[in-house]
Structures are given as structure tokens and as C-alpha cells.
């Protein structure tokens, strides 16, 4: 019977999160503990890529991490971002996050609706004279570069941050007694095998989000008991609720 579930993500800020409803309905305990964390590159590492931020007229942001690390690096390198710099973001939520660093009204900000770069592309094409810089993680598929290339946009991708294992303390390792583990990225699976090299799955259920995460789990010799998203359950919380409903004692 599943009573204690580890979610490898930060705890939701909103009290309206479906996780809290599920916890109450099925009498389960959720523990939110990220297996991975994001680290920004040092200026010296960034300079090794031989990129001058001021050569570009527009920045493409795919996440809040990208925004944080772009402005942090610029500050560390004492680069003043021009007032007329344009920002293209994959969602409105990400675009609003820019306000943390600059006055939003003074900037030209564009955003998509789906969170996918494909949705942002038509807007970028309307501004085809811009020189686009795309801050990214050290782990990326290269698909963004191919898309921009296909529209003949002037662009350059650069690594500004990396994903690393968020190591467990000795006490956390001792308290690692969960009935289910939920992962959202291949990096999370890597962190599990790094922190617990002798992990024996046994009856512990494993849930994965996205095909790449499921494949990483299987490649690591783990049994995947729940895969999301699916046509019926596009979210992890929806899939989880269905799973708990089917497996309640």
C-alpha cells in the first residue's frame, strides 16, 4: 500500500495545488525534495564560449533559470544591458519574471502561449532582423537551434547554467523510506543512482514524466510503474490520482 510518496520537485507555492487534494483524499504523505539543482556558470566559463552579449539585440528565454543566470552573469561581468534589448519568452509567466531584474514597461517583451519554442517562432520571424541569443542549460537537445535555423534567423545558443545532482545528507539517506518515487527528468534518475548506488527497488513504485525520463529509469534497471503524460492523463497529478485509485487497499 502506498502511504509515503517522494516528489522530486520543489514544494508547490500555491495551496491550491492538486497534490494537497490528493494527499487528503487518499491519506498519503507527499515529501517534496528535488533530486537536482541548477548552478550558474562562472564568468570565466562563460567567456570561454567567446560570446559577447552586447553583439545581440534580442534574448530568447525558455525558463526562469535562463533569466536568473543571464542577468546574474551580466552583472558579474559588469555588462549593462541596453534599454532597447528585446526579450522573447515561451510563456507570459516567464516574461513577467523579467520584472525581477528590469523595469518591464521600458522593455520590448514578447511571449508565446504553449511553453514551446514553436509557438514563439512566428513572432520571432516578424522580427527577423534581430540577432538572437538563447541562454541554455548544459543539457539540451539542440532542437531550438534547428528551429531557428529553419527560419533563417540570426542566432547563437550559449550555455549559462548546468543541472547537477542535489546530494542527500546522511540523515536524509537514512530516512529514505518511500513507497513511491516520482521523477520528472533523466537528471533526477541519475541523481538517484549517484546518491543511492545500491538502491534496491523491491516494492517501491516509480513514476516518470516524459518518455526520456522513463527511458533513463529503464536504462538504470528500474521498473517503471506509472508513466505520464498520457492522452487520458496529461498531468502527473492526474495520472497519480488514477494510480492511487486503482491501488488503494
- CB-CB contact of 184 with 196 (8 Å): no
Q: What is the mean pLDDT of the segment spanning 49-78?
A: 96
- Among candidates 63, 34, 65, which has minimal Cα distance to 182? 34
Residues 6+ apart with CB under 8 A from 248: 1, 26
Q: What is the mean pLDDT of the segment spanning 123-149?
A: 92
> Cβ–Cβ contacts within 10 Å for residue 19, how many?
21
Say whether pLDDT at 4 is over 80.
yes
- Among candidates 82, 80, 72, which has minimal Cα distance to 46? 72
Q: What is the mean pLDDT of the segment spanning 212-219?
A: 95
Predicted local confidence at residue 196, as pLDDT? 94
Predicted local confidence at residue 249, as pLDDT? 65
Predicted local confidence at residue 181, as pLDDT? 98
Predicted local confidence at residue 214, as pLDDT? 96
d(CA 35, CA 168): 8
Mean pLDDT score of the chain: 93
What are the structural domains, with CATH classification, of the chain?
A: 4-35+168-246 (3.40.50.10090), 39-163 (3.40.50.10090)
Predicted local confidence at residue 106, as pLDDT? 56
Predicted local confidence at residue 105, as pLDDT? 62
**How far is CA 102 from its chain centroid?**
23
Predicted local confidence at residue 107, as pLDDT? 64
Lowest mean pLDDT among 29-43, 103-117, 148-162: 103-117
Q: Over the Cα atoms of the chain, what is R_g?
A: 21
Amino acid at each position: 500500500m502506498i502511504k509515503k510518496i517522494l516528489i522530486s520537485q520543489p514544494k508547490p507555492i500555491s495551496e491550491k495545488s492538486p497534490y494537497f487534494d490528493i494527499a487528503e483524499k487518499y491519506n498519503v504523505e507527499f515529501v517534496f525534495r528535488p533530486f537536482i539543482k541548477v548552478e550558474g556558470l562562472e564568468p570565466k566559463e562563460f567567456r570561454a564560449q567567446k560570446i559577447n552579449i552586447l553583439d545581440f539585440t534580442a534574448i530568447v528565454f525558455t525558463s526562469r533559470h535562463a533569466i536568473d543566470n543571464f542577468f546574474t552573469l551580466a552583472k558579474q561581468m559588469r555588462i549593462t544591458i541596453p534599454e532597447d534589448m528585446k526579450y522573447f519568452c515561451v510563456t507570459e509567466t516567464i516574461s513577467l519574471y523579467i520584472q525581477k531584474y528590469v523595469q518591464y514597461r521600458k522593455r520590448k517583451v514578447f511571449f508565446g502561449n504553449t511553453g514551446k519554442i514553436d509557438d514563439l517562432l512566428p513572432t520571432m520571424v516578424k522580427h527577423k532582423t534581430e540577432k538572437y541569443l538563447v541562454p541554455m542549460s548544459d543539457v539540451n537537445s539542440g532542437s531550438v537551434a534547428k528551429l531557428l535555423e529553419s527560419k533563417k534567423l540570426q542566432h547563437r545558443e550559449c550555455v549559462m547554467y548546468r543541472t547537477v545532482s542535489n546530494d542527500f545528507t546522511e540523515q536524509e539517506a537514512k530516512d529514505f523510506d518511500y513507497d513511491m518515487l516520482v521523477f520528472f527528468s533523466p537528471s533526477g534518475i541519475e541523481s538517484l543512482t549517484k546518491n543511492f548506488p545500491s538502491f534496491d527497488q523491491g516494492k517501491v513504485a516509480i513514476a516518470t514524466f516524459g518518455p526520456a525520463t522513463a527511458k533513463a529509469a529503464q536504462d538504470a534497471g528500474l521498473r517503471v510503474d506509472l508513466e505520464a503524460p498520457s492522452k487520458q492523463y496529461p498531468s502527473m497529478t492526474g495520472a497519480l490520482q488514477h494510480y492511487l485509485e486503482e491501488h488503494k487497499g
